[in-house]
Amino acid sequence: MKYKDGKDRHTAAIVLCAGKGERTGLGYNKMLFRISGRPVAEHSMKAFADAGADDIICVASPADEEVLREYADEIGARVCTGGDTRTDSVRRALDVLLPETEIVLIHDGARPFVSRDVICAAAESAAAFGSGIAAVPSTDAVKTVENGFITSSPPKSGIYMAQTPQAFSVRQIKDAYARISGSYGDDAEVYALAGYKPRVSEGSYANRKITTAADLVERGGGLRTGVGYDVHRLVEDRDLILGGIYIPFKKGLLGHSDADVLVHAIMDALLSAAGLPDIGRIFPDNDPDYSLCSSILMLGHVARLLKQRHLEPIYISAVVMAEKPKLAKFIPRMREHIARTLGVSDNVVNIGATTTEKTGVIGEGKAIAAEAFVLVGE
């Protein structure tokens, strides 16, 4: 990476993507949430690639390592398995830095809007002073609180909100992490406990961290929801297809296509979220082209319609209502099949199965129904 003094210093970026992101309520790691068609993690990694980092290390949890590796490969980044805490993850990443690395920038992957200017300011500060902690002055009144009561009101002057990246001399930050045990909120704290003086570099109020669902809506261009429902009668001499897979059973669902109620419900939910007509109008039951057609193929077409509108499934929750057969053992394959067709990770698709306690046509074994709710983002 080229610095203002004209020197090339081998500079690495550690992008921390190993968290769970539970406060967003997505049901999966927020690093995989897509903004403008790309996952949060990819935005964060690409920011450092565009800024000229010589080496980028994506720190991933074991559960997300495979999918994050795909995005890392596209950028030329490496992947390192994270630890139980943020501090543990940083320690592991520091251990795999290349020997020639002089400056390292440590960044929370949940800050995908970090700018080149903020990155370079932190790196320049680290080169000159040993550290560069991106930070912005506090714009809110600051209070200290005990037992729910305000005890003092420190002046805002001199109060900064620390961000990432936090850049350091590799020699110094490795020394700090080697000597300081425990778990900490950020790297500046570890650095200071080791006796070093963290220096602030220019941050940005736009360099916000995605923490809650509100952050996703604000920064992700908005979310859309959709709901879908379908029911078909069970008859003799038809294969039972649910979630795109064959289910061994004495009866199948009656319909113009393969009558896969689960996929039909998901398609209608996705079309609803996208503001498109329902499947009855897109795949009319009087069109011979769709006679006995695989609903999974139709789902692929729906996915393309969403893509044309720059929309993508963020989360799908569906339930199949059937008295028989029992479906639990088939659900993992259903999830995999649907996710692969939509081009999303398996953990984006959740499927449940229930009965109607022998009530109605479903409880009498005369029909199977499905309902789906989806979250779609730009």
Distance CA 106, CA 114 (A): 12
Reported as a pLDDT band with limits 50, 70 and 90, residue 38 is: confident
pLDDT in tens, 342-371: 988 788 899 999 999 899 999 999 999 999
Higher confidence at residue 279 or residue 25? 279
* C-beta atoms surrounding 206 within 10 Å: 12
pTM for this entry: 0.63
Domain ranges of the chain: 11-219, 223-377
Cite the DSSP H helix spans in 151-285. Answer: 170-179, 187-193, 213-219, 261-273, 279-282
Smallest CA-to-CA distance from 110 within 180, 24, 247, 16 is with: 16
pLDDT computed for residue 214 by the predictor? 61
From 2-6, 244-248, 282-286, 350-354, the region with the lowest mean pLDDT: 282-286
Higher confidence at residue 39 or residue 102? 102
Mean pLDDT (the chain, rounded): 91
- Please name the CATH architecture into which domain 223-377 falls: 2-Layer Sandwich (3.30)
Range with the largest mean pLDDT of 98-102, 136-140, 276-280: 98-102
Residue reference for tokens 């570890």: 190
CATH fold, domain 11-219, is Spore Coat Polysaccharide Biosynthesis Protein SpsA; Chain A (3.90.550)
pLDDT in tens, 125-156: 999 999 999 999 998 888 999 999 999 998 88
Q: How far is CA 346 from CA 67, 122, 350, in A?
A: 10, 37, 8
pLDDT computed for residue 41 by the predictor? 92
Residue 21 has pLDDT above 80, yes or no: no
For residue 14, the SS3 value is strand
Range 281-299 average pLDDT: 87
Angle between helix 116-129 and 40-50 (nearest 10): 60
pLDDT computed for residue 36 by the predictor? 66
For residue 70, the SS3 value is helix
Reported as a pLDDT band with limits 50, 70 and 90, residue 215 is: low
pLDDT computed for residue 25 by the predictor? 63
